[in-house]
Structure 1
Amino acid sequence: MTTDFDPAGLAATDLDPVDPASVDLAGLRRAVRGAVHAPGDPGYPTVGFNVTVVRRPAAVVDATSADDVAATVAFATARGLTVGIFTTGHGGTGVDGGSILVRTAAMDTCVVDPATRTARIGAGVRWQTVLDAAVPHGLAPLCGSAPGVGVVGFLSGGGIGPLVRTVGSSADYVRSITVVTGDGVVRTATAQDNPELFWGLRGGKSTLGLITEVVIELPQITEIYGGAVFFDGAEAAAVLRAWRDWAADLPTEASTSVALVNLPPLPEVPPMLAGRLTVSVRYASVADPATAAAAFAPMRAAAPALLDAVGPMPYAAIGAIHADPAEPMPVVESSGLLAALPDEALDHLVATVNSPVGPLLPGVELRQLGGAYAQDPPVRSALCHRDAAFNLHLVGMVPDEQAVPAVAGAIAAALAGVAPWSTGATLPNFVASDDPARIRRCYDDDTAAWLAALADQFDPKGVLRVGPVMRS
């Protein structure tokens, strides 16, 4: 998607200027095997999924191993710098000249072991790569709605995917983590070894360390009954009410979300959905096709469908359920957890997307939680707020810098309108911010206190205090 947004204009006022002479990059180059890029070098620019995010670090390191990451952390610590990490830039935040940015693309290990039903995955790997490697063995990587997202970033934030009510948090399937902690030490964390680190790395994002590799369990799922059905936006209020009432009795073998969608008239958008407001009801069930179809029948009857793409599908196609955009775009986003969805809340969201700024809100999404997600996992993690009923996620498109205030204002107004039913909390993977107050809302009091105490232990110099991490 092309826009007129130019992040270079933002950088001059919002980020500290970078002085290339302030950091001894020759020393950094001697310390790591991967390439080191200074400002102005061809390999320096780092643009992620959200192109409004500006990254102007003191240097960029293309790490090849955990040792490279550890050397970078040690180098930064000695110079009073922080270290951030980058894979795809989903949910990313800005980086200025006080930080070194570690890019992980070269750490691309992806080894599936069918005998143990596990996969060993490097920090630079995206979910699509794991899907391609695991699905031929009848195994199902528990990815999120977008297979183009990085595995490690998704899991470090807890991870909720299209089957969340059936399988719970994807982070609950992590078996081992290799991490460079803020003190520059390479450690392995499991439920038995460094258990407190294992707890905090699953849900705590990069608060305690930079993850370089994970081993995850792969359930046996080869086919699901799923997809999305689209209704005309004029039916939005009725469809949302029907979805809420229907989802209340949904069995745990099924998961669902609904989105108010404004899709632009682009070649890749089906003509019946382009340039108009639609309502997308997503569904994913591991039940047999007949049972799953019967369970979904009430939603098919909610209104005349513009497009019905719900049916048996191979697990490999799970990304088609949400059909999230794959190309970078300039967005503003925010989220919140809800305890309930009365008619007043639904009407407010419909009014938001029907307002003059509505066309700049390509997605207002509600994901139903509960089911297996709400149950205590076998091994506890720092992922909190499992008792919430719904996750509300709003995405606004900013075609140019002048649109930012209007879009951000519309998103803020949407959240304010549902505040009476908010839990006051958010999930780490839905907080694209480095605002300490917003990050704090990802955790209950006990979890926040434990993360802060562990950060003092594993990151005593605060070298990881950049980006969406919990701060003491």
Structure 2
Amino acid sequence: MTTTEALAPLSRPAATPLAPEAVADLVRQVRGPVFRPGDEGYDAERSGFQAGYRHRPAVIVGAADAADVAAAVGFARAQQLPVAVQVTGHGLSTATDGGLLISTRRMTDVTVDPAAGTATVAAGVVWGQVVAAAAPHGLAPLNGSSPGVGVVSYTLGGGVGVLARTYGFAADHVRAVELVTADARRVRVTAETDPDLFWGLLGGGHGLGVVTGMEFGLMPVARLYGGQLVFGAEQIDDALAAYLRWTETVPDTLTSSLALIVYPDLPQLPAPLRGRHLLQIRIAYTGSAEEGARLVAPLRAVGPVVGDDLREMPYEESHTIHRDPSDPHSYNGDNALLDGLDAAALQRVAALTGPAAPLMVVVQLNHLGGALATGSTGGGAGAVGHRDARFALRVLSPLGDAAPEDDLATAREVHAAALAAVEPWRIGRSVNFLLGEQRGRADAAEVARSTHGTAARSRLADLKATHDPENVFRFHPYEA
């Protein structure tokens, strides 16, 4: 039985409109704006980076602070409305249909304590803000590859970032979480005040409350040796095999990933990229540039490259290593955590997702291990699943702006075929890399179960039943 089946759900039908006087009362309770369908600003407020799927709430609260969040949750409880939360919408996996959406994008305070080596952020902060605030002090957060991703949601999923093999998951370094509970209480959760809830919040994903703020440790990193090596189609198979051999030799101070992309033949793209099937190997090394160059020499020896911009850089330029897109678009994706991998399987993935694929597929393989497996220097003990994974394989396809069903069906078929090539090594999925609409998938229950092992799932289910017995935060299911 799933946890959501065991919980007593809120009973208000999604189609039941809110009474005007109820909404007026909500407006009086909060400082931020309130939007209903048809209001100016409603569509903009519910939209995020994922353009293919958008929340369709009965009401939106643009929270100005934690007090607004608490008032919104209290209102939702009184009106029997489920609650969803959105900052940037990068990881939207289940859109609301009805209910109340809390938008935290206005909550943007960032404070760095250089003496303590910590940052404190509000719920709407994105990683680029933290990088910029920490850099003058020679410090760096455990941010991901895109500066526009929200700090809180990323960290609640674990957080596999640019420095992941050196320092572990972002969740491992959290000191405190400011939370609004399902009964609208504001609490500060730490390993001392509530160790079980603290564990579940850090790596368990979402669904235990609304996080309004977070304090976490920063790392003593001011610079990197990093960038990309880019290989053309004729070098892909050899480079993939070389990369897998190479990952067995590198130190934990080097974090890397690779991406396979068939670029469209568009005039706005640089000429070396147009219409080409390319392999990008991304490097982030915290040691010296000289040692970094020595470490990547086996990759450079594969053969001619299309591009090579490996260099010493200030940490503020770390986002240039992956060069993630910044404009909202529609996409769908899946992922697999792997306990191993061989070259033949990875080459098969490249062939299935290459120029012969029926739609564009971006493949990313992250080299894991190091501090991700050992628990990190922060001594974290959160609920991050499958720490023993050696690789994370992601597949993602851009879709039409409205995510038409035929594109979605084709994408899922291609993604399933690519992931089937690595099935012998598959041990689960990453919460952070669950991309696209999960609702309607025939294997939705299996997807939810795959993010954690049996014991962790049971513990998370117990926490859900304890802290959200009415399933107020139902859009991130905990499957037992």
Give the TM bin, normalised by the shorter chain.
over 0.9
- CA distance in structure 2 between the partners assigned to 1:304 and 1:359 by the alignment: 28
Q: Contact conserved, 1:335 with 1:430, CA < 8 A, in 2?
A: yes
With 312-321 and 24-33 compared, the bigger mean Cα shift is at 24-33
Report the equivalent of 1:413: 417
CA–CA separation in structure 2 for the residues paired with 1:182 and 1:381: 21
Pairing 1:428–2:426 present: no
For 1:191-230, list aligned pairs within 5 A. Answer: 191-230=191-230
Aligned twin of 1:5? none
Q: What is the rounded CA distance, in whole Å, between the counterparts of 1:354 and 1:93 in structure 2?
A: 26
Alignment of 1:268-417 (within 5 A): 269-354=269-354, 356-357=356-357, 360-361=360-361, 363-377=362-376, 378-399=379-400, 401=404, 402-417=406-421
5+ residue gaps, structure 1, are: 1-15
Contact 2:172 2:375 in 1 (8 A): no
* Contact kept? 2:261, 2:354, Cα under 8 Å: no
Amino acid at match of 1:397: P
Aligned length in residues: 454
1:366 aligned counterpart, secondary structure: strand
- Residue 57 of structure 1 deviates from its aligned partner by 0.6
Which one of 449, 453, 472 corresponds to residue 440 of structure 1? 449
- Look up the match of 2:248: 248
Contact 1:77 1:461 in 2 (8 A): no
Post-superposition CA distance 1:110-161 (Å, at most 9, x none): 1111121111101101000111111111110110011110000110000001
User: Which whole-Å CA distance do the structure 2 matches of 1:266 and 1:318 have between them?
Assistant: 27
2: CA distance, partners of 1:392 / 1:440: 18
CA deviation vs aligned residue, 1:203-246 (integer Å, no higher than 9, x gap): 12222111000011111111110111100022211110010001
| One-letter code aligned to 1:39 | P
Distance between the aligned counterparts of 2:219 and 2:35, measured in 1?
A: 40
Cα distance in structure 1, aligned partners of 2:350 and 2:101: 40
Contact persistence 1:20–1:38 (CA under 8 A): no
Amino acid at match of 2:49: F
Tell me the amino acid that sits aligned with residue 447 of structure 1: A
Contact 2:277 2:355 in 1 (8 A): no
Structure 2 residue aligned with 1:168: 168
In the TM superposition, what whole-angstrom CA distance separates every residue of 1:159-216 from its partner, at most 9, and x where no partner exists?
A: 0012211111111111111011222211101121122221111112222111000011
Tell me if structure 1 keeps the 8 A contact 2:164–2:371.
yes
3-state SS in 1 of match to 2:333: strand
1:357-402 Cα offsets, whole Å, 9 max, x none, are 26511x1011010111110341310101010110000111213624
Report the residue type matching 1:392 in the other structure.
L
Segment drifting more, 337-346 vs 115-124:
337-346
User: In 1, Cα distance between the equivalents of 2:48 and 2:339?
Assistant: 33
1:130-169 alignment, distance < 5 Å: 130-169=130-169
Is the 2:61–2:103 contact (alpha carbons within 8 Å) kept by the matching residues of 1?
Answer: yes
Residue 355 of structure 1 and its aligned partner are, at CA, apart by 5.1
AA in 2 matched with 1:439: A
Aligned sequence identity (%):
37
Partner of 2:478: 470
Instruction: Give the counterpart letter for 1:440 in structure 2.
Output: R
How many angstroms apart in 1 are the aligned matches of 2:129 and 2:223? 18
- Code of the residue aligned with 2:205 in structure 1: it is K
What's the CA shift for 1:262? 2.0
The question of whether the paired residues in 2 share the 8 Å contact of 1:18 and 1:56 is answered with no
Give me the CA root mean square deviation. Answer: 1.8
Asked whether the equivalents of residues 128 and 148 of structure 2 are also in contact (C-alpha less than 8 Å), the reply is: yes
8 Å CA contact retained: 1:352, 1:358: no
Q: Aligned partners of 2:104, 2:166: CA distance in 1, in Å?
A: 31
Alpha-carbon distance in 2 for matches of 1:380, 1:21: 42
CA contact (8 A) 1:357 1:407 kept: no
Unaligned runs of 5+ in 2: 1-12
In structure 2, relative to structure 1, the CA distance for the partners of 1:338 and 1:471 (3 Å cut) is closer
User: Partners in 1 of 2:211 and 2:286 — Cα distance?
Assistant: 31
Distance 1:387 1:312 in 2: 31
**Structure 1 residue 289, shift from structure 2 partner:** 1.2
* 2:8 equivalent in structure 1: none
Cα distance change, pair 358–421 in 1 and its aligned pair in 2 (3 A): farther
Measured after TM superposition, the shift of residue 303 of structure 1 is: 2.0
- The residue type equivalent to 1:29 in the other structure is V
SS in 2 for 1:450: helix
**Paired residues of 2:14 and 2:99 also in contact (CA < 8 A):** no
Compare 279-288 and 20-29 and name the one that shifted more: 20-29
Moved more, 203-212 or 389-398: 203-212
TM-score using structure 1 length: 0.92
Q: For residue 207 of structure 1, what is the amino acid of its counterpart?
A: G
SS state of the match for residue 187, structure 1? Answer: strand
1:261/1:279 contact within 8 Å kept: yes
Distance 1:227 1:120 in 2: 29
Matched, 1:458 2:467: yes
Say if 1:132 and 1:267 are closer, same or farther in 2 by CA, change over 3 A. Answer: farther
* Partner SS state of residue 437, structure 1: helix
Q: 1:31 offset after TM fit, Å?
A: 2.6
* TM-superposed deviation, 1:339: 1.6
Query: Which residue of structure 1 lines up, in the alignment, with residue 7 of structure 2?
Result: none
The residue matched to 2:210 in structure 1 has which SS? strand
Q: Match for 2:368: what amino acid?
A: L
Asked if the contact 1:232/1:306 (under 8 Å) is kept, the reply is: yes
Please say which of residues 53-62 and 401-410 is displaced more in the overlay.
401-410
